[in-house]
Amino acid sequence: MELLTTNNIWMMLCAALVFFMHLGFSFLEIGLTRQKNTINILFKNFFIITMGLIMYCLIGFSLMYPGDFNIIGGGYLGFAGIGLDLAVAADLSYNQGYTYWTDFLFQGMFAATAGTIISGAVAERIKINSFMLIVLVYVSIVYPIVGSWQWGLGFLSTLTDDIGFYDFAGSTLVHSVGGWGALVIIYILGARKGKFDINGKPQAIPGSNIPLSAAGVLILWLGWFGFNGGSVLSADPANTSLVLVTTCLAAAAGGLGAAFFSGLLYRNLDLTMFMNGVLGGLVAITAGADQMSPNEAIMIGVIGGIIVVLGVSLLDKAKLDDPVGAIPVHLFSGIWGTLAVGIFGASKGLDQFIVQLASVGIVGVFCVISTIVITLLVKSTVGLRVTEREEMEGLDIAEHGTGAYADFAMK
């Protein structure tokens, strides 16, 4: 009982840290976008965490951890029923590490993250009602189904006879799931007015508050102590300490890698690249934080940061508009971190690498198809994008009827 109490307290603390990450995401998005869309971004982030928790309670948790309740056998789709299971919750032998309630709370905090990734990428031009509908379905159904394939002991966990997919805390199962959704939606949605000139050359649209974004990144780094540290699923001193060390080293290396690589490419030291490089390093290490040595974590982080810089350039060349760099950070670095398990992890080798690569592909195909269906349905019914006049006016006034800073004239 004493061990259960210790582990349970640690897991609850980690759940609180992951919850705190939503403030970091909010600050990051607000600072990297324009003042006239601040209320809109805050509303979306409040909606994601509130709706996410309710829907994860009613549907998501049972989809993600269906037990023996199979709809499509073989670990493809199961559903344990509407709502939380009070009978299971009353059984303290549910898990040696933590209670049923703590399990739900910790996993529920993860669920909303996929929606937050989408929020940043589609900022400043999507209808608020359309966004809410898309994210409602994505967080309630798409994310839990993908999670069930691995963390719910589904088919990815036993993809071959002797090797299963490995994703410690969600480089693919959380971050890439959100990243794939974001990529599809911004392709269908189109770029913000003024992002690309008549020749297709990208134009800078400066954010309104870079110091606030910097605070958001540091909050996210702190929250990752819970995101990865809690994924040990116990307060085991050795494993938890290693995870926190590799997480921090990868974040530091990612920031430096992005800052200096972008400096070499563009001849300036870009703070936003530095910040997103930190996040890219965090996302990259998340798949194998419990398996890497400090030197391997640094290498994974540096490459993750460089991938962020290259990813931003790639999106510009493809004329895809991601105001906060969510796709390079969460999708591209998430894919790299997942593959890195097959290169550096405990079961590294060609077989593990192929399993990791195949799993990335399976998850990507499912998320892309799901997002296309959801987004086109929403577009055909309630529409997807605000009018050009509303976009120029700002979504705070157009969608919410008020500005964020009443004492200042809107610019």
On the question of pLDDT at 55 being above 90, the answer is: yes
For 56-154, where are the alpha helices, taking DSSP H only? 61-64, 86-89, 100-121, 128-137, 143-150
For 154-236, where are the alpha helices, taking DSSP H only? 177-189, 210-229
Which residue from 181, 179, 123, 192 is spatially nearest to 308, judged by alpha carbons?
179
User: Would you say 50 and 123 are in contact if contact means Cβ atoms under 8 Å apart?
Assistant: no
Contacts of residue 363, defined as CB under 8 A and 6 or more positions apart, other chains included, come to: 146, 149, 172, 173, 176, 177, 180
- Specify the pLDDT at position 280: 98
Rounded CA gap, 150 and 358, in Å?
A: 13
* Number of residues written out for the chain: 411
Q: Taking the CA atoms of 390, 392, 396 and 402 in sequence, report the sign of the dihedral they define.
A: negative
Q: For helices 350-381 and 333-344, what crossing angle results, to 10°?
A: 160
Which residue from 344, 326, 219 is spatially nearest to 283, judged by alpha carbons?
326
- Specify the pLDDT at position 329: 98
DSSP 8-class letter at 339: H
**Burial (Cβ within 10 Å: 0-12, 13-18, ≥19) of residue 346:** exposed
Lowest-confidence pick of 7-16, 117-126, 153-162, 178-187: 153-162
On the question of pLDDT at 93 being above 90, the answer is: no
Confidence of residue 292 (pLDDT cuts 50, 70, 90): very high
Query: What's the whole-model pTM score?
Result: 0.96
DSSP 8-class letter at 231: G
On the question of pLDDT at 94 being above 80, the answer is: no
On the question of pLDDT at 409 being above 70, the answer is: no
Q: Which helix (H) or strand (E) holds 200?
A: none
Helix, coil or strand: residue 126: strand
Rounded CA gap, 185 and 305, in Å?
A: 24
Which residue from 143, 115, 179 is spatially nearest to 328, judged by alpha carbons?
179
Q: Tell me the C-alpha to C-alpha distance, in Å, between residue 126 and each of 121, 129, 383.
A: 10, 9, 9
Number of H helices, E strands in the chain: 17, 2
Confidence of residue 92 (pLDDT cuts 50, 70, 90): low
Residue 296 sits at φ, ψ, to 5 deg, of: -65, -40
Confidence of residue 81 (pLDDT cuts 50, 70, 90): very high
Give 77's strand partners: 72
Rounded CA gap, 251 and 285, in Å?
A: 8
- Domain 2-400 is in which class? mainly alpha
* Residue 127 CA from chain centroid, whole number: 21
Q: Which helix (H) or strand (E) holds 390?
A: helix 388-393
User: Would you say 364 and 176 are in contact if contact means Cβ atoms under 8 Å apart?
Assistant: yes
User: Would you say 276 and 328 are in contact if contact means Cβ atoms under 8 Å apart?
Assistant: yes
Confidence of residue 60 (pLDDT cuts 50, 70, 90): very high
Burial of 183-202, coded b for 16+ CB within 10 Å and e otherwise, reads bbbbbebebbeebbeeeeeb
On the question of pLDDT at 162 being above 70, the answer is: yes
- Specify the pLDDT at position 1: 60
- Specify the pLDDT at position 88: 83
- Specify the pLDDT at position 4: 78
Confidence of residue 98 (pLDDT cuts 50, 70, 90): confident
Q: What is the mean pLDDT of the chain?
A: 94
pLDDT in tens, 191-211: 999 999 998 999 999 999 999
DSSP 8-class letter at 346: T
Q: What average pLDDT score do residues 61-69 get?
A: 93
- Specify the pLDDT at position 113: 87
Q: For helices 294-317 and 271-285, what crossing angle results, to 10°?
A: 120
pLDDT in tens, 226-247: 999 999 999 999 999 999 999 9
User: Would you say 329 and 310 are in contact if contact means Cβ atoms under 8 Å apart?
Assistant: no
| DSSP codes, 245-267 | HHHHHHHHHHHHHHHHHHHHHHS
Q: Which helix (H) or strand (E) holds 368?
A: helix 350-381
Domain ranges in the chain are 2-400
Say what percent of the chain tops pLDDT 90: 88
User: Would you say 65 and 39 are in contact if contact means Cβ atoms under 8 Å apart?
Assistant: no
